[in-house]
């Protein structure tokens, strides 16, 4: 049995000799990955939501975000080079490469090329960080303990923020674009309660992984702390999706056949898509959903979805470019005869619509192949007919979280979004385990 030298199962005796295959001290591995996880989960702490400057178009981006991601990206690039970039070669699949090429091409053809190229660089760094943590972690236990430390920084920081600076950690009536239902809901160190809710779902999943691999006490402490904050955030989408994620992925331990697993995993994704986009495109679905749910969009998002669909059809083949549609002067101040609150939102609240806005309908099709269908195939290659081990279950839960969240939040191609980054870790992890998991047994 070969010893594994990475969380995804790279055998220690398979490391490349020479400059590109040297070892890294454990302390550097833990510090780098710990910083990266905190950065990906939230890097905008204690945002003042009463600042009216947030109402303006935000094409310049955040200098702090750029500095943090550039610094982390440089450190991760050095670590990947030292360990051996060849260990990431399994990620060069045709669907993923085609997605990258199309994304780059549409950025060049964007209505705002300079803006799209900046956003593309940020996303590329986030993707590299998401892949890098998988080979920087020496073992599943080290990955679990590193994630546990980062999770405690986030969740305890959020509780302390609520206790010490409630004006910056709890929604109030003074928030710009304040929703009548938001005052009193906790957001902790996060910019918004929905971002806090999504992060807490991630931490619950991380806590379950820690409890299985490293420490039952520490893992369940993270689960309980994160679940408590999730309830206090009042994030309806996150609260609804968490039990669905745990139930469906838990059933994957029982239903091990390929067809049943595909049906179990893709069925809810199709269902949520019908509830969301389908309720806008098809009146019969809208009537059926309306009879079952008083608010199928959870926050009246149907207007946003219709606005997004209308603009997709303006540029259906190449899209508008990454980051070049929402919260830009063209969208917010384009001189429309009927300007509404819809033009001031920062995303479509639907990842599939935003993907089509970025790169057109062909890009949406490529994304479905690369990030929806291919991971299901990889899952069956890793654990077809068998129960799932802890790492595969972690990746499965994070991947499924991204897919079911995609119908109500923008969680694809957004390096600023925690769910997007964890989703990429899951997709990359499942792919890498098709190459290395067997070798590590």
- Number of domains the chain is built from: 1
Q: Is 5 a member of any domain?
A: no
H or E segment to which residue 329 belongs: helix 329-332
Digits of tens for pLDDT over the chain (441 positions)? 344 578 777 766 544 444 445 788 999 999 999 999 999 999 888 887 766 655 554 555 678 888 999 999 999 999 999 999 999 999 999 999 999 999 999 999 998 898 899 999 999 999 999 999 999 999 999 999 999 999 999 999 999 999 999 989 998 877 776 666 788 899 999 988 989 999 999 999 999 999 999 999 999 999 999 999 999 999 988 999 999 999 999 998 888 777 888 899 999 888 888 887 877 777 676 666 665 555 544 446 777 888 888 889 999 999 999 988 887 767 766 555 445 667 667 778 889 999 999 999 999 999 999 999 999 999 988 887 788 899 999 999 999 999 999 988 888 999 889 999 999 999 999 999 988 764 444
Cβ neighbours, 10 Å, residue 386: 11
pLDDT at 441 (0 to 100): 42
Q: Is 364 a member of any domain?
A: yes
Beta-carbon contacts of 201 under 8 Å, excluding residues fewer than 6 positions away, are 226, 230, 238, 241, 242, 245, 401
pLDDT at 337 (0 to 100): 47
Q: Is 245 a member of any domain?
A: yes
Q: At what angle do helices 140-164 and 26-41 cross, to 10 degrees?
A: 50
pLDDT at 324 (0 to 100): 84
Asked whether 123 and 414 are in contact (CB, 8 A), the reply is: yes
Alpha-carbon span 189 to 8, nearest angstrom: 31
pLDDT at 296 (0 to 100): 44
pLDDT at 20 (0 to 100): 44
How is 47-78 classified by DSSP, letter by letter?
--TT-GGGGS---S--HHHHHHHHHHHHHHHH
Measured at the alpha carbon of residue 246, what is the angle toward residues 243 and 249, in degrees to the nearest 5? 140
3-state SS, residue 186: strand
CA 308 → CA 57, 72, 280, 303, distances in Å?
18, 33, 11, 9
Asked whether 348 and 357 are in contact (CB, 8 A), the reply is: yes
Asked whether 84 and 20 are in contact (CB, 8 A), the reply is: yes
pLDDT at 437 (0 to 100): 63
Alpha-carbon span 320 to 162, nearest angstrom: 39
Task: Give the structural domain span for 407.
Answer: 12-440
3-state SS, residue 172: coil
pLDDT at 383 (0 to 100): 83
Phi, psi of 294 (to 5 degrees): -75, -25
Measured at the alpha carbon of residue 395, what is the angle toward residues 14 and 188, in degrees to the nearest 5? 125
Measured at the alpha carbon of residue 396, what is the angle toward residues 394 and 397, in degrees to the nearest 5? 65
Q: Is 6 a member of any domain?
A: no
Residues in the chain: 441
Q: Which residues pair with 11 in a beta bridge?
A: 4
Q: Is 3 a member of any domain?
A: no
Q: Is 2 a member of any domain?
A: no
Q: Is 380 a member of any domain?
A: yes
Measured at the alpha carbon of residue 200, what is the angle toward residues 161 and 419, in degrees to the nearest 5? 115
Q: CA end-to-end span of the chain, whole Å?
A: 6
Structure token pair of residue 313 = 């059809």
Measured at the alpha carbon of residue 50, what is the angle toward residues 49 and 53, in degrees to the nearest 5? 90
Alpha-carbon span 360 to 342, nearest angstrom: 21
Structure token pair of residue 421 = 């980054």
pTM attached to this predicted model: 0.90
Asked whether 32 and 136 are in contact (CB, 8 A), the reply is: yes
What's the CA dihedral at 6, 10, 13, 17 to 10 degrees? Answer: -90
CA 293 → CA 18, 203, 276, 305, 306, distances in Å?
61, 29, 12, 18, 19
pLDDT at 258 (0 to 100): 77
Q: Is 332 a member of any domain?
A: yes
């Amino acid at each position: 049995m070969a010893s594994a030298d990475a969380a995804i199962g790279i055998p220690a005796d398979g490391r490349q000799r020479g400059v590109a295959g040297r070892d890294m001290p454990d302390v550097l591995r833990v510090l780098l990955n710990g910083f990266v996880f905190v950065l990906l989960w939230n890097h905008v702490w204690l945002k003042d939501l009463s600042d009216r400057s947030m109402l303006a178009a935000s094409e310049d981006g955040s200098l702090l975000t750029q500095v943090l991601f550039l610094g982390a990206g440089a450190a991760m690039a050095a670590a990947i080079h030292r360990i051996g970039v060849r260990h990431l070669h399994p990620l060069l699949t045709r669907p993923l490469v085609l997605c990258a090429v199309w994304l780059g091409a549409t950025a060049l053809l964007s209505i705002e090329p300079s803006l799209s190229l900046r956003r593309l660089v940020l996303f590329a760094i986030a993707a590299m960080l998401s892949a890098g943590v998988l080979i920087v972690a020496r073992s599943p236990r080290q990955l679990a303990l590193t994630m546990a430390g980062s999770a405690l920084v986030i969740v305890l920081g959020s509780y302390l923020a609520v206790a010490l600076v409630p004006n910056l950690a709890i929604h109030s009536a003074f928030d710009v674009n304040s929703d009548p239902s938001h005052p009193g809901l906790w957001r902790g160190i996060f910019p918004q309660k929905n971002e806090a809710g999504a992060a807490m779902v991630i931490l619950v999943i991380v806590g379950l992984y820690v409890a299985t691999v490293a420490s039952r006490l520490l893992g369940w402490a993270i689960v309980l702390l994160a679940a408590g904050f999730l309830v206090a955030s009042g994030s309806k989408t996150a609260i609804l999706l968490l039990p669905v994620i745990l139930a469906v992925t838990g059933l994957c331990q029982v239903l091990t056949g390929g067809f049943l697993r595909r049906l179990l995993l893709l069925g809810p994704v199709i269902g949520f898509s019908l509830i969301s986009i389908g309720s806008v495109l098809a009146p019969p679905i809208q009537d059926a959903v309306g009879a079952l749910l008083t608010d199928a969009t959870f926050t009246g998002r149907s207007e946003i979805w219709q606005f997004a669909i209308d603009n997709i059809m303006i540029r259906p083949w190449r899209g508008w470019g990454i980051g070049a549609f929402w919260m830009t002067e063209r969208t917010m101040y384009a001189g429309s005869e009927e300007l509404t609150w819809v033009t001031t939102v920062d995303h479509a609240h639907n990842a599939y619509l935003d993907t089509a806005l970025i790169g057109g309908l062909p890009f949406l099709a490529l994304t479905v192949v690369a990030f929806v269908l291919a991971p299901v195939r990889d899952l069956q290659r890793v654990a077809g007919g068998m129960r799932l081990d802890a790492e595969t279950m972690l990746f499965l839960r994070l991947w499924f979280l991204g897919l079911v969240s995609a119908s109500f939040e923008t969680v694809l191609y957004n390096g600023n979004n925690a769910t997007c980054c964890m989703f990429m870790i899951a997709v990359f992890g499942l792919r890498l385990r098709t190459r290395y998991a067997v070798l590590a047994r």
